[in-house]
A = this chain, B = another copy of it.
């Protein structure tokens, strides 16, 4: 473990003072060209790399941005993290992640870890830590919130209601009238908004809302299969399903497959998110695209702006329907009923 070369080593080598070396490295003040050259050469020669912790200590900042996600291995968050990573590339900042696992206590723990690591700013993705807690943190450092709307904080997000509306509208246009909805957890604001969008689309098409057609899941694949089984078990008749996210749509799809119900032949299926794998799904999934990487990117850019005291208006995050092959014109209202009878 060889000794690290320090700024003073460079200074000695270059025949100047440490202050001067610091100045040329950070460009904090003018330095005579000759000395600058000498310093740069010395840095080169000694393979000097600044110690970021010392720098952090001295400047009172860590050049680190904390990102709270719910689950680092979830494809949905992975997309956003990728955006964050890209936005920070080439800047002096680096992201550091911690996961809340959809549990308030773990989220709080994650928050503590990041704060303890002296992050200069915090990006919070979804989650259910109390608003007050985040506002309190915002007194200490810039906070950007993705996927929640908290008055007084910088928030980023899509119009879930409208996006869901579009997805359901698509099914209606294909002639479907009995459309089931696999909702997300009722504790998530976005699930609620998507449910609202679903209801609004039905209403505008004069289709009565049938509570028996909605079942709530937890955004994981397994809950999608459970949802379809529940639907089928209660004898619900439907020719289409709108799932509140792609992962539950995946689950719904296997459940239907197992029953011999074909998508989209017998039942049309619409998801939400457009995960990368959705276009390679069989059948390729029709879904409402949510710009994951862009959300991460904008959150990170906004954070950088806050840190540098700049103004920044994030680009609006828009969603749009991606029509693939899991939806089709309704065939016959009796199709599913027939299946159920066999």
* Known interface pairs A2-B139, A94-B117; A82-B73 also in contact (CB < 8 Å): yes
Contacts of A75 in B (CB 8 A): 73, 75, 78, 277
* A85 contacts partner chain B, Cβ-Cβ < 8 Å: yes
Nearest-neighbour CB distance to chain B for A83, whole angstroms, equals 9
**Residue in B closest to A97 when the chains form the complex, CB atoms:** B97
Min Cβ gap A241→B in Å is 14
Partner of A53, one of B53, B73, B98: B53
Check if A52 sits within 8 Å of B118, measured CB to CB.
yes
The complex places the Cα of A16 from the Cα of B257 at a distance, in Å, of 70
Within 8 A of B (CB), among A10-64: 49-54, 56-57, 62
In the assembled complex, the Cα of A98 lies from the Cα of B86 at a distance in Å of 10
Asked if A115 contacts B78 (CB within 8 A), the reply is no
Interface size class of A (residues with CB under 8 A): 35 or more
Instruction: State the oligomeric state as a number of copies.
Output: 2
A198 lies within 8 A of chain B by Cβ: no
Q: Which listed residue (B49, B276, B283) contacts A115, Cβ 8 A?
A: B49
- Which chain B residue lies CB-closest to A249? B280
Known interface pairs A72-B78, A250-B277, A282-B254. Does A85 touch B99 (Cβ–Cβ under 8 Å)? yes
Given contacts A72-B82, A78-B78, A81-B73, contact A50 B251 (CB under 8 A): no
Which of A96, A117, A254, A284 gathers most chain B CB within 10 Å?
A117
Knowing A49-B116, A81-B72, A94-B113, the reply to whether A250 touches B2 (Cβ < 8 A) is no
Q: Assess whether A79 is in contact with B85, with CB atoms less than 8 Å apart.
A: no
Confirm or deny: A232 has a beta carbon within 8 angstroms of a beta carbon on chain B: no
Give the Cβ gap from A148 to chain B, nearest Cβ, in Å. Answer: 22
Given contacts A57-B54, A280-B251, A282-B254, A78 and B73 within 8 Å (CB-CB): yes
B residues less than 8 Å from A276 (CB atoms): 73, 221
Question: Within 8 Å of chain B (Cβ to Cβ): is A281?
Answer: yes
**Per-position contact with B for A204-243: 1 when CB-CB < 8 Å, else 0?**
0000000000000000010011000000000000000000
The 5 tightest CB contacts between A and B, nearest first, are: A73-B78, A73-B82, A221-B280, A250-B280, A53-B56
A-B residue pairs in contact (CB < 8 Å), sample of 28: A1-B140, A1-B141, A49-B116, A51-B57, A52-B116, A52-B117, A52-B118, A53-B57, A53-B62, A54-B57, A57-B57, A72-B82, A73-B75, A73-B82, A73-B276, A75-B75, A78-B78, A94-B98, A94-B117, A221-B277, A221-B279, A225-B280, A247-B280, A250-B277, A250-B281, A251-B280, A253-B282, A257-B283
